[in-house]
Amino acid sequence: MIPAAFAYARPTTVDEALQAIAGGGEDVKVLAGGQSLIPVMRLRLAAPETVVDLTRVRELRGVREEGDVLVIGAMTTHSDVLADPLLAQYGQLVVQATETVADRQVRHRGTFGGALAHADPAGDLPAVALALDAEFVLVGPSGRRTVPAAEFFVDYLTTALEEGELLVEIRVPKLAEAAGWGVRYEKFTRVAQAWSIVAVAAAVRREGGRIAEARIGLTNMGATPLRAAATEAALVGADLSLEAVTAAAAMAADGTSPSSDLNAQADYRQHLAQVLTKRALSAAAGL
Amino acid sequence: MTAVEDPTSTASAPEKLVGQARLRKEDARLITGDTTWTDNMTLPGMLHLSVLRSPVAHARITHLDVSGALDSPNVLAVFTGRDFAEEQGSLPCAWPVTPDMVNPGHPSIAVEEVNHVGEAVAIIVGRTKVAAQDAVEKIDVDYEPLPVVLDMEEAVKDGSPLVHDHTSSNTSYHFVFDAGDAGTGGDTEQAFADAEVTVSRRFVQQRLIPAFMEPRSVVVQPSGDNYTMWSATQIPHILRVMAAMVTGIPEHKLRVIAPDVGGGFGGKLQVNPEEILCLLVARRLGKPVKWTETRSESLMTAHHGRDQVQFIDIAADREGNVKGLRVRLLADMGAYLRLITPGVPALGAFMFPGIYKIPAYRFECDGVFTNKVPTDAYRGAGRPEATFAIERIMDELAVELGMDPLELRRKNWINAEEFPFTTVAGLQYDSGDYGKATDQALQLLGYDELRAEQQRRRESNDPVQLGIWFSTFTEMCGLAPSRVLGSLAFGAGGWEQASIRMLPTGKVEVVTGSTPHGQGHETAWSQIVADELGVPFEDVEVLHGDTAISSRGLDTYGSRSLVVGGTAVVKAAEKVVAKARRIAAHLLEASEDDLEFTGGKFSVKGTPGAGVGIQEVALAIFAAHDYPEGIEPTIDAEATFDPVNFSFPHGTHISAMEVDTETGFVKIRKYASVDDVGTIVNPMIVEGQMHGGLAQGISQALYEEAIYDADGNLTTGTFVDYLLPSAADLPHFDTGNTVHPATSNPMGAKGVGEAGCIASTPAVVNAALDAVRHLGVSDIRMPLTPERVWRAIHGGGDGGDRATAGTNAYGGASTETSSGVSTEASSLGGDK
């Protein structure tokens, strides 16, 4: 279909982008890769007054390291993520999840920051960011602030981004294999190239034959990505065994109230969360 | 591809083009888009239409104010149902399956009442598509809701609300075929009364959406009182007749052109409301107009397929001899009857007995109205439903008897030496060997190894279980003998027309009445003509799809093109050769009887060197300086072929399915099929048809379902929710063929367009059930979503209804814009 008419700005710097957003009128949408925004505009579910296109803002693209942290520019495309050597070494959970995002064409345009700012609970990257306790760097008219992932995802398609603010970079901790980290993104869909029905992002740190730490993010188990907190707690200090993992995974859906749709009713989603958590943990822990 | 030719077949002699896997002539332009699709058309002064569609499933229109749209920039006109009430007539239904069938009439645009979500309510005419689209939101409509009828089993009960309040019930017709009454079988009730074993089941054929690649598009150009319509249609010839009858435009003043068309699968075997509306608007304004649908409009308003509830009973003795079959169908017509809506389930009546010798058979079908978009032809049309039911019930009978399901089939199927065989439904099956196809398919699959693996997985209680099962099927193709269609009250014949024009330079134009929409007619017809006339493949051009060029034709559906249309080409070519022979004899000063014709050349027997090519004859007769007295100076010819019988492709499909019992996820591990489609003209096209058909049939089993919520909104209104598989989701296919030529046409072709789609659905479902039957599962509703499979394994039953809410992915793609208005009754769920 054809989108409603809109004004269009294509800044080349973050400052210009902020100005364009500030001057764009009542309803401004920021266009990153456009893989979610353009379809909803074509369906006329969104009819923004102004679209601010960030694709020419080069400073927002790329990955760098700052000590124990990887800093991922918001406009880094999914294919950039997949090709990045730093992420290959320290960001396997991000890489694995990104590999499952849609298809090659979408991954060439879609961006890491765009997917997070869109905050689609069925999208793959929010749960990964949450599991990693990523930090979101936001820039707005009143300056720069950092929001932890736990506070960034507020509700369905809603984030802590205030009006006029822009997500510029995402900081994720390095998870090195040498430090005992193993990761797995376990995604469940009916066909390839689809959104997750449920998915589980797991990172497990092993130490002396036991599980020292586990971080588990759940995709599409509620209006926002969630942590499987009960499972995480049960795994601290647990045996590195299938039995321990299975027992902990049984709590993966505790406290969740997922939606029912034509792919899955809530109880089946909760069941899937348990099965997928068991599988993700087993793979991450090398069992 | 593993093609095993029957040794008795001589269809693929090496020097012949027929039988060769020639690359398709049309593919370069179709694949690169270097052609004129209807939506590419631009005419001077052309206006663009957009359609305001009903967001409610059943309501009276109490207020309709279009002034906002009229004031919108670049909008020239807005029309409502009232504007066309006197001239729009009713969309045609060409198949009144019973004399007392109730047809409520089908306006192209709603006048007072809307009966399904997506029905046209107003048409906006703009200078650009954007202008027309922007104005859609500016029309003000009030609807007074009426009760919504959605569930067929509820709709046929006494006291159900009515879809059409001027009818006495929601039942359009009650169609019966009783073999006892027809004299083709025994007394069915008696067979069941006497039976040692009976098995009864209820199967659901879910509603499907044809989902052709190219959305529908129409352009109409008025010129005085003449009209030219371009449409992305399968049926330009039928459309011309019907559109003339509906609009009153005289048939000879209306030319219909189907340019290259991007798929149809039956979904473009239709006279669409928008085709009529484009004619009406163009006539009213005297300007060319175009309408092209969006994908969401297509999913919501183009006709759907399948949607039956099947009650099926089978009777047998303890030894496994089938004694009787009883079928009762509820078939969802949707809100209206379109072109062949009622005929689709009725056509299936003749296929439920499948490949089996069944002594007694009774079929009953109720066509039921609901507040949904109408159903109509979809790849297989009636036959997939029948094949699914008989192949599923045969397995259930085997379980009941404790018998190997393949042994049960062997015991009851028609043996090779029994052809031609007249079935209990009165059809005469032409040829085949079910045993041979089955043996070959078992070999292709590696059956024994997979069975051993299945055993291992069962014993080790593997979370991933394996199932391997069959579908042995036949179908009726080559639609159709005109007299038979007449006896079924179908509104047209089943013949096909071809003509061959020999151009002065020796090039050949073949005009076919069978209009392709991707099948490869141009290549196959060229192969046939090259062989018949002995001219180079490249010298043949195939013309189609324009009623001014191809004046007679009945178009493409029902796997009829090669069988009926191709035969007409052969017949026309024979006439060309016969005409050319007289002229060649004259030129060679020889007797016709002394001429032989091979490799495109007439030569005089026993006189080496004396000869003339048919392409030279073409030039000679164009000049017409020297030709025999008493004949017309042309060797052009035409032929109309009306088959005496259907053709009956058959085959055995075997699927090996992995079922993850923890998640319910179902995956095809391996798939083998051996099909007998008669003589093969182009093995590559045949294999392509098989692959596409398999994908589509598998897709019914595993992925596709049109879902309406309790308010009658289509929640599968985008491809996010109406799930289609891609190549990534499908396995490698091991395909093979046996060849038993059809007896109803000289080529021996049987038709391949629908075979894969018909056979694969039950093969996949049967195999999935085989994987989990030991866990107590005896049925799972299609599509076999992971959730349904999981529920059937862990909770019993058939997996039950799915939630009707669309996914929240995409920001919730199905909302008012794409699928309609929701009330509390919709139980949308999710977080929208």
Residue in B137, B716, B724, B787 to test binding to A, most A beta-carbons within 10 Å: B787
Touching check for B803 and chain A: CB below 8 Å?
yes
% of chain B at pLDDT higher than 90: 93
Q: Pick A122's closest partner by Cβ from B662, B809, B818.
A: B809
Q: How far is Cα A272 from Cα A278, in angstroms, rounded to an integer?
A: 10
Q: What are the domain boundaries of chain A?
A: 7-53, 62-173, 181-284
Residues of B in contact with A191 (CB under 8 A): 703, 723-726, 728-729
**CATH match of A181-284 with 3.20.20.105:** no
CA B382 to chain centre: 9
Q: What is the pLDDT of residue B479?
A: 87
Please tell me which of the candidates B134, B790, B830 has its beta carbon nearest to residue A261: B830
Is the distance from CB of B37 to CB of B43 less than 8 angstroms? no
Q: Which CATH architecture has domain A7-53?
A: 2-Layer Sandwich (3.30)
Q: Name beta bridge partners: B198.
A: B315
Alpha-carbon span A105 to A123, nearest angstrom: 16
B656 phi and psi angles, rounded to 5 deg: -110, 125
Rounded to the nearest 10 degrees, what angle do helices B236-247 and B273-285 cross at?
A: 60
Does the structure show a pLDDT above 90 at B826? Answer: no
List, as ranges, residues 1-30 from A with C-beta within 8 Å of B: 1-2, 4-5
At residue B820, does pLDDT exceed 90? Answer: no
Top pLDDT among B365 and B827 is at B365
Contact A272, B663 (CB under 8 A): yes
Please check whether residue B130 touches A, CB under 8 A.
yes
pLDDT at B817 > cutoff 90:
no
User: Quick check: A250 contacting B, CB < 8 Å?
Assistant: no
Neighbours of B35 (CB within 10 A): 14
CA dihedral B757, B759, B765, B766 (to 10 degrees): 180
Strand partners, B113: B60
> Cβ B809–A120 below 8 Å, yes or no?
yes
* Contact call for B294 and A268, based on CB within 8 A: no
A178 shares contact with chain B (CB less than 8 Å): no
Sheet holding B140-145: strands in order across?
Answer: B113-114, B59-65, B140-145
Amino acid at B692: G
Give B50's contacts (C-beta < 8 A, 6+ positions apart). Answer: B123, B124, B126, B129, B132, B133, B135, B136, B291
The CATH fold assigned to A62-173 is: 3.30.465
- What residues contact B144, with CB distance under 8 A and at least 6 apart? B59, B60, B62
pLDDT band at B810 (very low <50, low <70, confident <90, very high): low
pLDDT score of B809: 66
Considering only residues A163 and B809, tell me which one the structure prediction assigns the higher pLDDT. A163
Q: What is the pLDDT of residues B181-199, one digit of tens each?
A: 999 999 999 999 999 999 9
Look at residue B816 and tell me whether its pLDDT is greater than 80. no
Q: Which residues of B touch A194 (CB under 8 A)?
A: 723, 809
- Whether B77 shows a pLDDT value over 60: the answer reads yes
Alpha helices in chain A (DSSP H): 14-22, 37-42, 78-83, 85-90, 92-99, 104-109, 112-118, 125-131, 149-152, 229-235, 242-249, 266-284
Q: How confident is the model at residue A45 (pLDDT cuts 50, 70, 90)?
A: confident
Average pLDDT of the residues in B487-513: 96
Task: Name every residue whose Cβ is closer than 8 Å to that of residue A285 and which is 6 or more positions away in sequence.
Answer: A182, A204, A206, A211, A240, A245
Q: Which of residues 714-733 of B touch A (CB under 8 A)?
A: 715-716, 718, 720-721, 723-726, 728-729
Interface ipTM > 0.90? yes
Contact A191 B805 (CB under 8 A): no
Q: Are A118 and A159 in contact (CB under 8 A)?
A: no
Q: Measure in Å the smallest separation between the Cα of A193 and chain B Cα atoms.
A: 9
Q: Which residue of B has its CA nearest to A155?
A: B831
- A163 CB-near residues (< 8 Å, 6+ apart): none
pLDDT at A48: 95
Residues in chain B with CB shorter than 8 Å from the CB of A122 are 807-809
In angstroms, the CA B367 to CA B172 distance is 5
Query: What six digits make up the tokens of B131?
Result: 């202008």
Determine the Cα–Cα distance for residues B572 and B171; give it in Å rounded to an integer.
Answer: 46
pLDDT of residue A44: 85
pLDDT band at B13 (very low <50, low <70, confident <90, very high): very low
pLDDT of amino acid A161:
96
Q: Which residues of A touch B715 (CB under 8 A)?
A: 262
CB proximity B206 to A under 8 Å: no
The pLDDT assigned to A92 comes to 97
Using CA coordinates, name the residue in chain A closest to B663: A272
- Residue range B262-285: average pLDDT? 98
Q: Return the ∠ at Cα B728 (arms to B765 and B519), rounded to 5°.
A: 80
Q: Is the minimum CB–CB distance between B788 and chain A shorter than 8 Å?
A: no
B550/B711 Cα distance (integer angstroms): 46
* Pick among B662, B707, B718, B827 to test the A interface (most A CBs inside 10 A): B662
Beta-carbon contacts below 8 Å between A and B = 121
Check residue B309 and give its pLDDT. Answer: 98
Residues of B in contact with A158 (CB under 8 A): none
- Give residue-wise pLDDT tens across range B592-623: 999 999 999 999 998 888 899 999 999 999 99
Domains and CATH numbers, chain B: 1-13+430-477+645-801 (3.30.365.10), 495-641 (3.30.365.10)
Interface list for B 290-319 with A (CB within 8 A) = 294, 296
Residue labelled with tokens 């599991």: A131
Cβ distance of A157 and B715 shorter than 8 Å: no
